[in-house]
Amino acid sequence: MLALGSVKTIITENVKNGRIQFDMHGFLAGVILADLNLAAASPFLLGRALWAASRFTAAMSPELIQQFLQATVSGLHDSQPPSVRISAVRAIWGYCDQLKLSESTHVLQPFLPSILEGLVQLAAQFSSEVLTLVMETLCIVCTVDPAFTTSAENKICPLTIAIFLKYNNDPVVASLAQDIFKELAQIEGCQGPMQLRLIPTLVSIMQAPPDKIPSGLCATSIDILTTVVRNTKPPPSEMLVCQAFPVVAQCTLRTDDNTIMQNGGECLRAYVSVGLEQIAQWRDEQGNSGLWYVMQVVNQLLDPRTSEFTAAFVGRLVSTLISRAGTELGEQLDQILRAILSKMQQAETLSVMQSLIMVFAHLVHSQLEPLLEFLCSLPGPTGKPALEFVMTEWMSRQHLFYGQYEGKVSTVALCKLLQHGLNTDDKRLQDIVVKGEEIYSHEDGIRTRSKSAKTPERWTNIPLLVKIFKLIINELSTVVEANASRTNAGDWTQDSSGMWEEEEPAEEDEEEDDGLAGQLLSDLIASNKYDDDYYEDDDEDDPDALKDPIYQIDLQAYLTDFLTQFAQQPCYSMFSGHLNNAERQTLQSIGL
């Protein structure tokens, strides 16, 4: 049963397409159900049977599902041995998952009260190892029937709060508690009651002196508040705006803990994204608005005296603030951009620099001319206009940027910069010179540390617009490679049934593997920039990114079209003269 349950996907797919013959009904009814009905069966056999049955829900008849669900719910009872109860929890997760996929959750509804009762009892009786399994299952049970979940909120929410407070030092349990709060927040009938229970708890934690609460509890509480704000139907409630918002803002402003500052910034970004009007209208006793508090937090995150890591997420907060508040910021926008320029001069870490540069990339999309004017009006660290400083830092790191969304925003911004520079004959961009490619001498041999110290790196110098052109080609090459890898992965998945047949030896495997040996880690990172699973959590789960039309752009098609049109320009021959062989090959691959 363990073996068959573990390879369930392979079995069901191959039975479906006729590659193998297997009596699924006979296995379920004649083996698993028969074992469950044995009078003196081992508790471990019963537990394994409950789990194995849940793996093949899609192959069950309605009558069989009813029988197995009844057996599983009985397995949760506190009179059963622990091995049976724990296996029943795993089985319930499987039934919920499979029946949601087949849109047949109605068959679960009669069993939900008994399931919840069993899960609540288990949560109170077992240690954190079993607790994580119980909470994972409770989370998926919350999604089965909103009406039932609403009626049971008075059991689910207090239990989850109690578990979170007791096991707050366990990151897995804390994360699962956050998932349950997220599901409750998305159900309209649960929103009000849940906030009445949860918000006072979070507020008291954020207001507590740091030495009076466990380390990390405040940062996690801010994370949970962010989840509630993001997943509650807008506009945010009076409790979220008038009680929670000022407390999280003040907590972020008075701390010197990097994690609390980062989480606080992300929480305020959620407020700006879903409830800008509400926080702009709110006032404290001194008459300061919620927007004023957001500005104070931005200034703190960008303060040159704080660690550079406090600015790791500030770019997203500022970009959301600019896109939502726009003209309301007025001179405050100039103040923010000055602070970003100052922080950029200190920052060394890629993630921090990317976060800061992305603010300028977003502004290229929305306010290009005002941005250029602003950057030209300020001196950079060398005395030249700040525009040159920003462009130099951006161009030297563009190929290292990670994340699908960030990659699209910055790459499309480069296209807009190049287009603007040529269409308007903009001397501000045309006069900037940046590093091109590193110069290698054939006499150098292997570069040791001592050689590097004696002979520093040498680079060609090229016009900014040429560098942008080369970077756009590099981005096209990267996204083409990522799309090809994704297609090959899809083909492999479809052909996975071939494992039932004899395979031909792959003669080219060794050669293909050797191809990785000469690549730098930074190149491998960059080549994964547009892969679906690369930084997936950051991209896929970020609502602000998902709402941005740029996120939906097919970058390969966009860049191919852009470069095809650019090749028709009279200046193209001058630009193409700067290309290396790899860049020429990329252009040849799209017919240029």
Residue 64 clears pLDDT 60, i.e. is over it: yes
For position 29, what pLDDT does the model report? 82
Evaluate whether 523 touches 474 at the Cβ level (below 8 Å). no
In the DSSP assignment, the letter for residue 379 is: B
Residue 224 clears pLDDT 50, i.e. is over it: yes
For position 445, what pLDDT does the model report? 58
Residue 490 clears pLDDT 80, i.e. is over it: no
Q: 163 vs 170, 172, 193, 215, CA distance in Å?
A: 10, 12, 18, 17
For position 484, what pLDDT does the model report? 86
Element (H, E) at 31: none
Residue 212, CB-side half-sphere exposure with 13 Å CA sphere: 6
CA distance between the termini of the chain: 58
pTM of the model: 0.83
For position 306, what pLDDT does the model report? 85
Q: How confident is the model at residue 489 (pLDDT cuts 50, 70, 90)?
A: low
Helix (H, G, I), strand (E, B) or coil at 96: helix
d(CA 403, CA 499): 34
> Where are the chain's structural domains?
1-144, 344-438+455-490+522-592
3-state secondary structure 546-584: HHCHHHHCCHHHHHHHHHHHHCCCCCHHHHHCCCCHHHH
Residue 460, Cα to own-chain centre: how many angstroms? Answer: 37
For position 498, what pLDDT does the model report? 46
Residue 327, Cα to own-chain centre: how many angstroms? Answer: 29
Alpha carbon dihedral 482, 485, 489, 492, in 10-degree steps, equals 170
User: Per the structure block, which two tokens stand in for 419?
Assistant: 């287009």
CATH code, 1-144: 1.25.10
CA proximity to 47, closest of 96, 11, 80, 93: 80
For position 540, what pLDDT does the model report? 54
Residue 286 clears pLDDT 90, i.e. is over it: yes
* Mean per-residue pLDDT of the chain: 87
Stretch 492-520: mean pLDDT, rounded? 45
User: Per the structure block, which two tokens stand in for 196?
Assistant: 């009445």
Q: 57 vs 49, 66, 135, 178, 205, CA distance in Å?
A: 13, 11, 22, 28, 43
Range with the poorest average pLDDT among 18-27, 128-137, 196-205, 395-404: 18-27
Evaluate whether 442 touches 401 at the Cβ level (below 8 Å). no
Give per-residue pLDDT as tens, 308-338. Answer: 888 888 999 999 999 998 777 888 899 999 9
Q: How confident is the model at residue 520 (pLDDT cuts 50, 70, 90)?
A: low
Give per-residue pLDDT as tens, 348-382. Answer: 999 999 999 999 999 999 999 999 999 999 999 88
Helix (H, G, I), strand (E, B) or coil at 433: strand
Evaluate whether 69 touches 108 at the Cβ level (below 8 Å). yes
Place of tokens 């899609």: 58
Range with the poorest average pLDDT among 62-71, 153-162, 201-210: 62-71
**Before 505, cis peptide (omega within 30)?**
no
d(CA 579, CA 60): 61
User: Residues of the chain with pLDDT > 90: what percent?
Assistant: 62
In the DSSP assignment, the letter for residue 384 is: S
d(CA 276, CA 170): 34
Residue 537 clears pLDDT 60, i.e. is over it: no
Give per-residue pLDDT as tens, 420-456. Answer: 999 999 999 999 999 888 777 665 556 566 665 666 7
Stretch 559-579: mean pLDDT, rounded? 92
CA proximity to 88, closest of 43, 125, 128: 43
Residue 134, CB-side half-sphere exposure with 13 Å CA sphere: 26
Stretch 42-57: mean pLDDT, rounded? 88
Residue 39, Cα to own-chain centre: how many angstroms? Answer: 49
Residue 10 clears pLDDT 70, i.e. is over it: yes
Environment class of 359 (CB within 10 Å of its CB; exposed 0-12, middle 13-18, buried 19+): buried
